[in-house]
């Protein structure tokens, strides 16, 4: 929006802050404040300690953080691979087949994630594919949940990709595989990294499906946070939440740096 | 490698609409053939059929002696340059130019030699390490041409390659393309354009297309001086097209008897007389006709008069006049008999 007069600009900023602060920033600030608190009975927390963080970055909690990171990275890579593949294949299909494929991939988003968790649990608790009790069932559930986003953002990018590039490459004698690896995927890289970042963030925060099927030795951070708050340790939970938030934002920042270096236009 | 292109009754249809209707055309080895026509005339479709990006509904396409109709684009051995350049934005200029050679598995030393040679030929050697986005439009077009020529194709397809450039740059690039073709004389070029100047300047022969059909093929001189059809006359250069009735050795235009070559038309038939505006003179002379000036345009080197002759508009492009007539003035126009061409009615736009 283009705002020219100084007064109007102030009004817009004020409206933005009034709407944005309570809705988005304040809850996060409250979590941040409570993660340093020893006591919170009035309007503001009292007492200051870094003890919650000391607890949140060692032992079980540290393990939960690495669990979450490994899960999110694995799930996003899986999702990116499957989603990109499906998007590329879908682009080559006819209109009706493409629509069916799109619907199929949106399904895990349309269905409540608890249901997805339960479905994965039921499906893989019996041989021949027995994954229940292993970390793989968590990877799989997360991948199923986030593939929709990878598929959607990559197929949107493929539609926008000018066919002139692949045609130029083909006319120069490049086989379809060469065109894919040397021209199409490099040109799609910005949206691939964006999709990877989105999948990662979603997987880092996933709780409801994870609750259904995490094995005892593979407890992701959100489950840990839930467990802490459930037994009344709000401040410890807050510290864990801040750790989760920071880790996610750090990874996303790193990923977005790849993106800016890879955008050509 | 020397190879021409041959269209053998090639038809292309999209969703039931015929966009190219049984095209028969041969581009000789080493020849520059311009496909000239308005948008929607099927010229780009014809080019894409050679490249392999559209499948003909009927007919065959040959490159050299090889029937390429069923070959995928990457096995056709063509070079192609399109209007929007389509340079790979993530590769440096040298990698863009090397792309085709690498795709063909050329040896490293060979690739380096060819890339250097081709970039020098197109005057882009100094920009080898740049990315496309760091180049101007004209430079990008040179790189696109270099990329197509690096594989030394027998056939080069140019799809409106100069349309995105400004007028000055366009005429420079035309000269450049002509020079490149002199350096690589075995290369056949199929040049799609809607710009008659590009076609007249560069082409050995021009194929005029209209509404999915090929109208007329000939050398630029033939099409300009002696077009057979009204469409060709008006699309290749400007033309006065006047309805006349043919007599013996003369035609009559609203009562004016005009001497022209009537060999192409039967006596008594109605026909169209084509006279180029720049061949029309002011004042008395052979084939004199009188009209009323409706508009005068000063165009720097010339004056263009719009003259109403017995209800028909006639254009006259005259070398700049000291005292141009004013709208409403009656003027005499004339033209030499050999400067007029009779287009027989009945063989016009079919």
Mean pLDDT to the nearest integer, A110-126? 83
Do residues A210 and A72 make contact, with C-beta atoms less than 8 angstroms apart? no
Question: Which residues are CB-neighbours of B145 under 8 A, at least 6 positions away?
Answer: B81, B122, B161, B177, B180
Q: Is B53 on the interface with A (CB under 8 A)?
A: yes
| Residues A165, B88: C-beta atoms closer than 8 Å | yes
pLDDT at B269 (0 to 100): 82
Superfamily (CATH H level) for B5-225: P-loop containing nucleotide triphosphate hydrolases (3.40.50.300)
Residue B279 CA to chain centroid, in angstroms? 22
Query: Do A164 and B82 lie within an 8 Å CB cutoff?
Result: yes
Q: How far is A157 from chain B (nearest CA, A)?
A: 16
Is residue B54 within 8 A of residue B45, CB to CB? The reply is: yes
pLDDT at B262: 81
What pLDDT was estimated at residue B350? Answer: 39
- Encoding tokens for residue B47? 């080019």
In this complex, do B89 and A187 lie within 8 Å of one another by their Cβ atoms? yes
What is the model's pLDDT at position A74? 92
Task: Tell me which residue of B146, B158, B226, B148 sits closest to B195, measured CA to CA.
Answer: B158
Quote the percentage of chain A above a pLDDT of 90: 8
Enumerate residues 252 to 311 of chain B having a beta carbon within 8 A of any beta carbon in chain A.
none
CB contact under 8 A, B84 and A175: no
Domain boundaries, chain B: 5-225, 230-344
Mutation target among B52, B73, B89 for the A interface, most CBs of A within 10 A: B73
**Average pLDDT, integer, range A38-65:** 73
Residue A254's SS3 state is: helix
Chain B residues close to A265, C-beta within 8 Å: 89, 133
User: B84 at the A interface (CB within 8 A)?
Assistant: yes
Cβ contact (<8 Å) for A169 and B157?
no
pLDDT: which is higher, B150 or A21: B150
Q: Which residues of chain B, if any, have pLDDT below 50? A: 346-350
B99: chain A residues, CB-CB within 8 Å: 169, 172, 174, 182
Burial B39-61 (b: 16+ CB within 10 A, else e): eebbbbbbbbbbbbbbebeebeb
CA angle B172, B176, B182 (to 5 degrees): 150
B104 contact residues in A (CB cutoff 8 A): 173
The SS3 assignment for B218 reads strand
> pLDDT higher for A99 or B101?
B101
Task: Report pLDDT digits (tens) over A130-157.
Answer: 777 778 888 888 888 888 888 988 988 8
Structure tokens at B94: 């040298």
pLDDT of residue A43: 66
Ranges A53-57, A108-112, A209-213, B5-9, most confident: B5-9
* Residue B166 structure tokens: 């400004």
Given B74, B87, B157, which is nearest A173 (Cβ)?
B74
Other CB atoms within 10 Å distance of the CB of residue B311 = 8
What average pLDDT does this structure show over A21-50? 75
B180 touches chain A (CB under 8 A): no
Task: Determine the pLDDT at residue A264.
Answer: 55
The answer for residues whose C-beta is within 8 angstroms of residue B181's C-beta and 6 or more apart is B32, B187, B189
For residue A99, the distance in angstroms to the closest alpha carbon of chain B comes to: 20
Shortest Cα–Cα distance, B247 to chain A (Å) = 55
> Considering Cα of B29, then B158, then B173, then B136, what sign does the dihedral take?
negative
Assign B331 to helix, strand or coil.
strand
Specify the pLDDT at position B127: 94
- Of the candidates A168, A173, A176, the beta carbon closest to that of B151 is on A173
Nearest CA in chain A to B106: A173
ipTM field: 0.81
Q: State the nearest Cα–Cα gap between B73 and chain A, in angstroms.
A: 5
Kindly state whether B350 is in contact with chain A, defined as any CB-CB distance less than 8 angstroms: no
CATH of the domain spanning B230-344: 2.40.50.140
Q: Give the C-alpha separation, B169 to A45, whole Å.
A: 71
Burial class (CB in 10 A: 0-12, 13-18, 19+), B326: exposed
Test mutation, A92, A163, A166, A171, chain B, max B CBs within 10 A: A171
Judge whether residue A258 has pLDDT over 80: no
Average pLDDT, chain A: 83
Instruction: Identify each DSSP E strand in chain A by its residue range.
Output: none
Reference A243, options A69, A22, A80; nearest CA is A69
CA dihedral A66, A154, A264, B143 (to 10 degrees): 140
- In degrees and rounded to multiples of 5, residue B238 shows phi and psi of -85, 155
pLDDT of B348 reads 42
Q: How many CB pairs under 8 A join A and B?
A: 74
CB atoms inside a 10 Å sphere around CB B310? 14
Q: Could you say which DSSP state residue A46 is in?
A: B
């Amino acid at each position: 929006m283009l705002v020219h007069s100084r007064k109007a600009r102030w009004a817009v900023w004020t409206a933005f802050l009034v709407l944005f602060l309570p809705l988005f920033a304040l809850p996060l600030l409250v979590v941040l404040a409570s993660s340093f608190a020893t006591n919170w009975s009035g309007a503001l927390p009292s007492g200051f300690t870094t003890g919650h963080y000391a607890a949140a970055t060692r032992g079980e909690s540290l393990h939960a953080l690495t669990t979450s990171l490994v899960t999110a990275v694995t799930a996003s890579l899986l999702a990116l691979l499957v989603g990109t593949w499906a998007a590329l294949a879908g682009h080559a299909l006819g209109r009706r087949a493409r629509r069916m494929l799109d619907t199929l991939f949106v399904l895990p988003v349309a269905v409540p994630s608890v249901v997805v968790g339960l479905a994965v649990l039921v499906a893989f608790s019996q041989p021949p594919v027995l994954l229940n009790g292993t970390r793989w069932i968590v990877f799989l559930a997360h991948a199923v949940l986030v593939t929709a986003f990878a598929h959607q953002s990559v197929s949107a990018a493929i539609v926008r990709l000018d066919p002139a590039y692949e045609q130029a490459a083909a006319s120069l004698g490049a086989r379809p595989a060469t065109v894919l690896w040397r021209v199409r995927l490099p040109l799609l890289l910005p949206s691939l990294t964006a999709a990877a970042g989105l999948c990662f963030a979603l997987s880092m925060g996933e709780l409801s499906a994870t609750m259904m099927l995490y094995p005892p030795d593979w407890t992701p951070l959100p489950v840990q946070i839930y467990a802490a708050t459930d037994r009344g340790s709000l401040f410890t939970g807050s510290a864990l939440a801040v750790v989760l938030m920071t880790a996610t934002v750090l990874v996303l920042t790193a990923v977005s740096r790849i993106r800016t270096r890879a955008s050509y236009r | 490698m020397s190879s021409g292109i041959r269209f053998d009754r090639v038809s292309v249809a999209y969703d039931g609409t015929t966009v190219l209707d049984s095209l028969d055309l041969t581009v000789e080895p080493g020849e520059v053939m311009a496909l000239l026509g308005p948008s929607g005339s099927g010229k780009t479709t014809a080019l894409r059929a050679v490249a392999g990006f559209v499948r003909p509904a009927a007919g065959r396409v040959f490159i050299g002696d090889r029937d390429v109709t069923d070959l995928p684009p990457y096995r056709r051995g063509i070079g192609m340059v399109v209007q929007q350049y389509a340079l790979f934005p993530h590769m440096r200029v040298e990698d863009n130019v090397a792309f085709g050679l690498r795709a063909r598995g050329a040896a490293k030393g060979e690739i380096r030699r060819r890339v250097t040679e081709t970039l020098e030929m197109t005057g882009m050697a100094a920009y080898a390490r740049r990315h496309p986005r760091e180049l101007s439009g004209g430079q990008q077009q040179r790189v696109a041409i270099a990329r197509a020529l690096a594989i030394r194709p027998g056939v080069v397809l140019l799809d409106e390659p100069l349309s995105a450039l400004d007028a000055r740059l366009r005429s420079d690039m035309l000269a450049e393309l002509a020079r490149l073709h002199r350096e690589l004389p075995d290369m056949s070029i199929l040049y799609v354009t809607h710009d008659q100047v590009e076609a007249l300047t560069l082409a050995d022969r021009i194929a005029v297309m209209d509404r999915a059909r090929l109208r007329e093929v000939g050398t630029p001189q033939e099409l300009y001086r002696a077009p057979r059809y009204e469409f060709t006359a008006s699309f290749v250069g400007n033309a006065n097209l006047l309805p006349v009735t043919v007599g013996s050795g003369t035609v009559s235009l609203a009562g004016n008897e005009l001497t022209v070559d009537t060999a192409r038309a039967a006596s008594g038939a109605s026909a169209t007389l084509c006279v180029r505006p720049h061949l029309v003179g002011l004042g008395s002379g052979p084939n004199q006709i009188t009209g009323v000036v409706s508009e005068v345009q000063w165009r720097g080197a010339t004056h263009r008069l719009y003259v109403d002759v017995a209800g028909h508009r006639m254009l006259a492009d005259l070398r700049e006049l000291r005292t141009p007539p004013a709208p409403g003035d009656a003027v005499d126009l004339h033209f030499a008999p050999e400067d007029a061409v009779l287009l027989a009615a009945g063989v016009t736009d079919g």
